[in-house]
Amino acid sequence: MEGMRIVLAGQPNSGKSTIFNAVAGYRAGTANFPGSSVSYTLSRAIVLGREVNIVDLPGIYSLTSTDAAEREALTYLLENDPDVIINVVDATRLGRSLELTLQLMDLGKPMVVALNMLDEARRKGIDIDEKALAAALGIPVVPTIGRRGQGLKALFREAMRAGLSHRAPSPASYDNEVERAVGEIERALEPQWKDEPVPARFFAIKAAEGDPEVIHRLAAQVPGIGAIVDRAAAELEKAHGWTADQVVSGSRHTVAHEIEDRVAVFHRGSVGWREMADRVLLHPVTGGPLMALILFSFFYAVFGLGKYVENPLVALFDGLGVWIASVLPPATLAGTVARGVVMGVSGGVAIVLPYLIPFLFGLAILEDTGYLPRMAYILDNLMHRMGLHGKSVVPLMLGYGCSVPAVMSTRILESPRDRRITTALTVLIPCSARTTIIYAVVGAYMGAGWAFFVYILNLVVVGALGTLLSGRMKGRAPGLILEIPDLRLPAAKTLLAKTWLSLREFIVIAWPLLIASSAVLGVLEWAHGASAVNAALSPLTVALLGLPSVVGVTLIFGVLRKELTVLMLIQAIGTTNIAASLSPAQMMTFTVFVVFYIPCVATIAVMLREVGWKDTAWISAMTIVMATVLGVVVRFAFAVL
């Protein structure tokens, strides 16, 4: 028998993904900022001895089709007919959360409310009578603390019971005029409404609110509905003096807050460390310098830790390489393949992991504490100078981790123009793979100062390009609207799970690729195939950039994964001691070129999906031109110095 389908729906940062992960194992990325889940995650899980399908929807403030995440959630709910909806409600923002609850109830599906984050509500001095809430809504309410796994068993037991009962909640009623308008539209829909999984009332309310997608959908199904909707909306506007969308959402707001007033008591909460920390972190005078300090210490901590681990490991693997060469002579096929495999393994262990692990862990801390949206707040006016606004900071910061989720997170931006510009800038940000190149080549052999210089150069280029692009594209977004969640002490378990999730990506996908490519390069060299590629690329690598011609092949492999460039380089020059073969000017030129040139295959794939082939093509072309120009500039700047 097909398992029950349970959907988790709730507002951003209500703790849905935490509950999902507690049941399904760590799969959904959590973070302390709104919109961290941009698409839904599906998992099969055993709950109370039965197999079920659990879906974690992206966090949504309401069920409208104006926002990308909300459209995704709405489409899922309308097309997949879930057996039961678990509405995760943030107890610290009960009134606002209930506005979504009321909309979900209109879907006519069995529903259970998880009253989550009760510990934080208590700390804020909010007491909620969950029995009264259940009575007011007419659906079961289960108190939970997702972070500690409290109440989850009861929650899923209640959800399965609701799912088996097939009992839908009765929808809440709004004020008289709204009910009259909705009733008119509903009556017009009813004759055509046979065997539809979602009640006509849901669509009637959305239509009265002027949701363009719903109206479009209804118009195709019920001829003449447009005129009826327009008339109902006009009557609403006449009665209230506001636009129909404000009347409907205002009425929902009132109902939600009336329920909150009835079931919740507010005491004076304690001004905790979070409030104190925010006063300093967001203070007009201290906020900016503190942000610089936080990012700078992050950079140095990763560098310090990585270098400490890298040096002994590199020495160890160099020794191993020498031993292999003495057993299997490099001139033989077996010898060259063995050398390639050792180089691939050692590159992963000695060069990538020492920097990747502390880097991913640090990024997880920034994400889970909720510092990212605060950076968006602090940097908003700077981003305005570039013609964007603060929210673009979130994809850019995530870009330091991996370009793929960063490009996906541009969905939090409202305007298509901002998304296009931010995507172009995000792929230029050195991701963790490129970070390991910066650290392992420039950082390790030229010093931390020069590594830092690469980052600054990168930011200057990103800033200039952003200004240039936004000057040329029309349609500025109105400005920053971003919820700033409470600061949170991240749980060590979550941080480790998150680091592991990204690390596993590297170990399972990238590393085997590194080892295989390394071996392939070995065979290529043995068969003298690499020299043909190197010769073909030498106008770029040798003539323009002044690099040894052996880097040609590495740049081709680098399109697969950026880490490959440095590992292939090691393989090509035959030692992990890069400084033995490249001058500082060449190391710098190589690193700058690799940081900027063409996004990796995975990034190109996600860009194709998110912004289409045209943008992907010009962004990719632009990066190659830019990398070449910057590489040449660096080369000659070093020659002059």
- Contacting positions for other proteins (CB under 8 A): 61-62, 64, 66-67, 92-93, 95-96, 99, 124, 126, 210, 242-243, 245-246, 249-250, 253, 257, 271, 282-285, 287, 373, 376-378, 380-381, 384, 389-390, 414, 478-486
Helices within 34-93 (DSSP H only) = 68-80
For the beta carbon of residue 132, count every other beta carbon within 10 angstroms.
14
Q: 294 or 328, CB closer to other proteins?
A: 294
Kindly list the distances between the CA atom of residue 613 and the CA atoms of 399, 416, 596, in Å, as whole numbers in the listed order. 20, 15, 20
Nearest approach in angstroms of CB 478 to other proteins is: 5
Q: Distance between CA atoms of 550 and 74, rounded to whole angstroms?
A: 53
Question: What single-letter amino acid sits at 393?
Answer: V
Q: 64 or 369, CB closer to other proteins?
A: 64
Kindly list the distances between the CA atom of residue 561 and the CA atoms of 431, 433, 531, 602, in Å, as whole numbers in the listed order. 11, 8, 21, 8
Q: 477 or 600, CB closer to other proteins?
A: 477
Nearest approach in angstroms of CB 371 to other proteins is: 13
Nearest approach in angstroms of CB 94 to other proteins is: 9
CA terminus-to-terminus distance, the chain = 73
Q: Distance between CA atoms of 468 and 479, rounded to whole angstroms?
A: 19
Q: 66 or 332, CB closer to other proteins?
A: 66
Enumerate the β-bridge partners of residue 10. Answer: 88
**Both tokens of residue 197?**
């999984």
Nearest approach in angstroms of CB 19 to other proteins is: 20
- Please name which of 607, 630, 613 lies closest in space to residue 422, comparing C-alpha atoms: 607
Q: 372 or 442, CB closer to other proteins?
A: 372
β-bridge pairing 4-10 and 50-56 = parallel
Q: 100 or 162, CB closer to other proteins?
A: 100
Q: 271 or 331, CB closer to other proteins?
A: 271
Nearest approach in angstroms of CB 180 to other proteins is: 21
Nearest approach in angstroms of CB 587 to other proteins is: 38
Nearest approach in angstroms of CB 127 to other proteins is: 14
Burial 441-460 (b: 16+ CB within 10 A, else e): bbbbebebebbbbbbebbee
Nearest approach in angstroms of CB 28 to other proteins is: 22
For the beta carbon of residue 295, count every other beta carbon within 10 angstroms.
17
- Mark residue 547 as left, alpha or beta (left: phi above 0; alpha: psi -120 to 50; beta: remaining): beta
Q: 389 or 562, CB closer to other proteins?
A: 389
Q: 285 or 641, CB closer to other proteins?
A: 285
Q: Distance between CA atoms of 305 and 443, rounded to whole angstroms?
A: 12
Q: Distance between CA atoms of 500 and 522, rounded to whole angstroms?
A: 31
Contact 55, 7 (CB under 8 A): yes
Q: 65 or 616, CB closer to other proteins?
A: 65
Q: 281 or 547, CB closer to other proteins?
A: 281
Nearest approach in angstroms of CB 479 to other proteins is: 3
Nearest approach in angstroms of CB 60 to other proteins is: 8
- Dihedral over alpha carbons 543, 547, 550, 556 (to 10 degrees): -80
State residue 599 phi and psi, 5-degree precision: -60, 155
Q: Distance between CA atoms of 170 and 154, rounded to whole angstroms?
A: 23
Nearest approach in angstroms of CB 383 to other proteins is: 10
Q: What single DSSP character describes residue 57?
A: P
